[in-house]
Structure 1
């Protein structure tokens, strides 16, 4: 019985894994939430206004508002040690296409491809079918430019599973 009580206590104080996207170049989500004072300096510094106040007041990314240009203004504005300034990649997130993509319903749409600067989204032609999107996860930088133009809300940006 004491083992189940100990396990309950551990579960009470353990951090749950979150699907929230934090600003680019953070060290880890845990270090971010442990050290972020929720001063909102990164939110006001963001040139595309995609950083918003999320759960608990912690900054998070909302790609429905636009894309990340990797300007690093959020990093420069933050007075806390939450960012890895020397880190080369901003994050390890990439885009993926959900099943409600219009192309799966036979509708010709390539709005995601048109918005993708790194050209990570291409379309595969098939005889008698509308071209289907394919994401090159090696080329995708997770900027989120493809999210807001999608008329079906069929693109999600997240950590690889």
Structure 2
């Protein structure tokens, strides 16, 4: 199966599929693009309203809009089975350089929202705190991203064996 970029992607010079956050349980990027019919059933059914179209018209998740509760509704309405029931997700949160805490401004909004306790602040002698996102505890739900006033939470994909604590 070969990848055929959409016209818009081709004209913008994007010839390979980037790591777009698809709904939990989505097939591999090429299989997803080939199987998804762009019917919008998952977008309409998502109770959290966090699934949108990407530039190619395929469903993508935007955790800045809200958190994923892993309810599985997107998979249950996907007739072509581009999204299957998921037992986990390989996306993990990490802070970006625009994190208010990293700028010397006290903010712990992300920690307050994280039910998994994957975000920790370690007090330092200078009165500041170092922020740590624990990839082993993080489930990638996005509660921290949706709440962050600076929009300073990014997500990266991990493989099951590549999941260690990532300090800032």
**Which residue does the alignment assign to 2:87?**
88
**Equivalences, count:** 150
What SS is found at the alignment partner of 1:146?
Answer: helix
- Give the direction of change, closer, same or farther, for the CA distance of 1:92–1:11 in structure 2 (3 Å limit): closer
**Which residue does the alignment assign to 2:117?**
119
Between Structure 1 and Structure 2, which shows a larger proportion of helix residues? 1
Q: Determine which structure has more spread, i.e. the larger CA radius of gyration.
A: 1
1:79 aligns with 2:99: no
Match for residue 145 of structure 1 among 143, 146, 155 = 143
Equivalent pair of 1:21/1:158 in contact (CA under 8 Å): no
Take 2:97 and 2:67, find their aligned partners in 1: how far apart are those partners? 22
What SS is found at the alignment partner of 1:132?
Answer: strand
Could you tell me how far 1:132 is from its partner in structure 2?
Answer: 2.1
Could you tell me how far 1:67 is from its partner in structure 2?
Answer: 0.6
- TM-score where L is the length of structure 2: 0.82
Could you tell me how far 1:15 is from its partner in structure 2?
Answer: 5.8
- TM-score where L is the length of structure 1: 0.85
Deviations 1:21-55 (A, max 9, x none): 00001121111110100000000110100001111
1:156 aligns with 2:143: no
Specify every segment of 5 or more residues in structure 2 that has no aligned partner in the other structure, as ranges. 6-13, 163-168
What SS is found at the alignment partner of 1:21?
Answer: coil
Equivalent pair of 1:36/1:82 in contact (CA under 8 Å): yes
Specify every segment of 5 or more residues in structure 1 that has no aligned partner in the other structure, as ranges. 1-9
**Which residue does the alignment assign to 1:17?**
17
- Written as runs of structure 1 = structure 2, the 5 A alignment for 1:97-112 is 97-112=95-110
